[in-house]
A and B are shown apart, each in its own frame.
Chain A
């Protein structure tokens, strides 16, 4: 969806020829859409930033990108007017809640980042028949990599089959045909294509031998 963060917000839905031209509307009768300025930090329309969980960063962003609007929205009079019909205690409680929410969201983001940095990627070389192997790559999803797309990229790079399969534990991994463990590691370290954002220390190569006997 086209985000209209940096476009000017029109104050009223009055017909504006420019707005109509932007949307490329075929008819002159159609009502032009209203321009809404969305916050780049919390994605809400800017007037709702105060109810989000990142008000401090939202304020900073708005001040930088559009200081006139910032003054309009966060000036003292505006703050006074906003309180409106709400009683003082309710307002105080609201502010408290917002602050609490913000702290909570920050803690959550921190924890997520830590988890991301700590999570390991294992590249496992699994022996099939005789000297044939497959390579299983596990743990990519922790780095926000789309497994399906990554599998496709690996398949076209190595010109072999690569698929996303479910492991018995319920997680998903990429299985590439052929012994490509080292190449995959190099790709991850260099960040080729969509395989980005993985610290080199978190990559581990293991090997799984087929049990002897049987055939």
Chain B
């Protein structure tokens, strides 16, 4: 999503978000992520206005004090930026890829099932299985911090069963153009 992203030409405008819309965003984030209201309050204080940065291809990035915090495509789920996920790793369910896959992910590849099901990889256990279309944090074998943020393309149980094709689609990863942006 952010593999090629130049702020100059891909951003079409900054607008402050209406307080009623901010409220609904806050609610949907609280329902979509595993986050306590207090933690969200610390990340995004109520007094601090949210700014919507409209980008190409219907991508909306939301910033607080110019710092990109989360983004959205159309009106699908919200994704935290990778920097936010590093600070609060518990907000998204985690999947883990093996070491061999790291360098492909770092150049923007989607996550293939074998990278998740192999020995170094990790998927949530059956009782905590994820549906297709869930935002997930992508962690890596032997590493403490997340390497990417993505959305599951099939249920985690299906991944274990078929073990083929794209399991998780990468939305933002370490070293992409969104990572390079520290302020918008």
Closest B residue to A3 using CB positions: B182
Q: Is B58 an interface residue (CB 8 A)?
A: no
Q: Knowing A30-B38, A84-B120 touch, does A48 contact B99 (C-beta < 8 A)? A: no
Q: Are B36 and A81 in contact (CB under 8 A)?
A: no
Q: How many residues of B contact A (CB 8 A)?
A: 35
Q: Knowing A23-B42, A86-B99 touch, does A29 contact B87 (C-beta < 8 A)? A: no
Query: Main secondary structure on chain A at its contact with chain B?
Result: loop
Q: Are A31 and B143 in contact (CB under 8 A)?
A: no
Q: Are B42 and A85 in contact (CB under 8 A)?
A: no
**B180: which of A43, A45, A97 is its contact (CB, 8 Å)?**
A43
Q: How many residues of A contact B (CB 8 A)?
A: 30
Q: Are A1 and B180 in contact (CB under 8 A)?
A: no
Q: Is B119 an interface residue (CB 8 A)?
A: yes
Q: Are A26 and B42 in contact (CB under 8 A)?
A: yes
Q: Is B89 an interface residue (CB 8 A)?
A: yes
Closest B residue to A28 using CB positions: B38
| Residue with the greatest number of chain A CB neighbours at <10 A, chosen from B89, B118, B174, B180 | B174
Q: Are A31 and B89 in contact (CB under 8 A)?
A: no
Q: Are B38 and A29 in contact (CB under 8 A)?
A: yes
Closest B residue to A52 using CB positions: B175
Scan residues 32-54 of chain A and give those whose CB is less than 8 A from a CB of chain B.
Answer: 33-34, 36, 42-45, 47-48, 51-52
How many angstroms from the CA of A18 to the CA of B88 in the assembled complex? 16
Chain B residues with Cβ below 8 Å from A48 are 102, 106, 143, 145, 147, 174
Q: Are B42 and A25 in contact (CB under 8 A)?
A: yes
Interface residues of A, Cβ cutoff 8 Å to B = 1, 3, 13, 23, 25-27, 29-31, 33-34, 36, 42-45, 47-48, 51-52, 81-86, 90, 94, 97
Interface residues of B, Cβ cutoff 8 Å to A = 36, 38-39, 41-43, 45, 67, 83, 86-90, 98-100, 102-103, 106, 118-120, 141-145, 147, 174-175, 179-180, 182-183
Q: List 22 A-B contacts (CB under 8 A).
A: A1-B67, A13-B89, A25-B42, A27-B38, A27-B42, A30-B36, A33-B42, A36-B145, A43-B180, A45-B86, A45-B145, A48-B106, A48-B174, A82-B99, A84-B99, A84-B142, A85-B99, A85-B118, A85-B120, A85-B141, A86-B100, A90-B100
